[in-house]
Structure 1
Amino acid sequence: MAQFIRTYSQLDQQDLSSLEALYHPAVVFEDPAHRVEGWPALHDYFQRLFQNVTHCEFRIHQSMADDAQGYVVWTMVFAHPKLNRGQHREVQGCSHLTFQDNQVIHHRDYFDLGEMLYEAIPLLGRVVKSIKAGL
């Protein structure tokens, strides 16, 4: 878990090579919008993600783990030129990790996709925020 936290805390969009040591070749990665299987597909996912943002960092707040699994609570701070006029956005989330052979074999992220994307789109953002306020 310490290596996972260190890697994500120092993740550099110019150099994603540190991720390969974390993930099992047969990793399954899931978040609210994607599911990718295998390290090559996950590497491609991260490359596309970082090509589209001008800034991305993870702030790790809490973690706990045993030999089989772990949980991480984080804030992702990112900027995308087409969202929120390119200004930084913060999204709270957590990850559930399952380990095999001292690597992550399954990585599931939980976060509010509306907060991340839809609320940053001018007209749609107002609609999503008003729906959330009414719940």
Structure 2
Amino acid sequence: MTQISEWISNFIETYQKLDKDHLHLLADIYDSSIQFQDPLHKIDGLENLHHYLKKMYANVHYCHFDIHDSFHNDQQKAAVYWTMQLRHPKLKSGQLILVDGHSQLTYQQGKITHHRDYFDIGSMLYEQLPVIGAGIKYIKQRASS
């Protein structure tokens, strides 16, 4: 196994174990100056990322990533495709929510230095809220007809 495929494997294995009790594993894959971005936040530094994920996991009943595919290039960049399974007490009455997305990663000198997540924030959050969700679903239906 080459070094670049090993770092992708380590990333995937870490995210399969990640929960509120295993956030210390972040230091195994991320550089201390990690730049992390998702549709809601932009975070600089491992300590800030740890704090962000600690708050996120404290508010959810369940969060798991099913990894479907990944690929990399020779410039130490990779994409990982996943489905997030999420249960949050304030979203969809605590029922399971599935959100497809992918992560764009950059790897340098043994650690991931950039991590950007792409996913539909509407399907994860806005569509799951009682009043707003119905309106967004209506707009999507109208736009596609």
* TM superposition score normalised by structure 1: 0.96
1:25 positional shift: 0.6
Give the counterpart of 1:47 among 43, 54, 61.
54
| Corresponding position of 1:16 | 23
What is the DSSP-based 3-state SS (H/G/I as helix, E as strand, rest coil) of the residue aligned with 2:28? coil
Moved over 4 A (4+): none
Q: Which residue of 1 aligns with 2:79?
A: 71
Extract unaligned runs of 5+ from structure 2. 1-7
What CA RMSD, in Å, does the superposition of the two structures yield over aligned residues?
1.0
* Cα deviation, residue 10, structure 1: 2.2
Which position in structure 2 is the counterpart of 1:120? 128
Q: Which has the higher helix share?
A: 2
TM-fit CA distance, 1:41: 0.4
Work out the number of aligned pairs and report it.
135
**Percent of matched pairs sharing the same residue:** 43
Q: For 1:58, which of 39, 45, 65 is the aligned residue? A: 65
- Say whether 1:110 aligns with 2:118: yes
Shift of 1:50: 0.2
Q: For residue 8 of structure 1, give the secondary structure of its aligned residue in structure 2.
A: helix
Q: State how far apart, in whole Å, the 2-side matches of 1:134 and 1:100 are.
A: 45
Q: Structure 1 regions of 5+ residues with no counterpart?
A: none
Report if the CA contact (8 A) 1:13-1:56 is conserved.
no
Quote how far apart the aligned CAs of 1:12 are.
Answer: 2.6
- SS of 2:63's equivalent in the other structure is strand
The Cα of 1:101 is off from its aligned counterpart by 1.1
Larger radius of gyration: 2
Deviations 1:8-52 (A, max 9, x none): 122232221111111001110001110000000000011011000
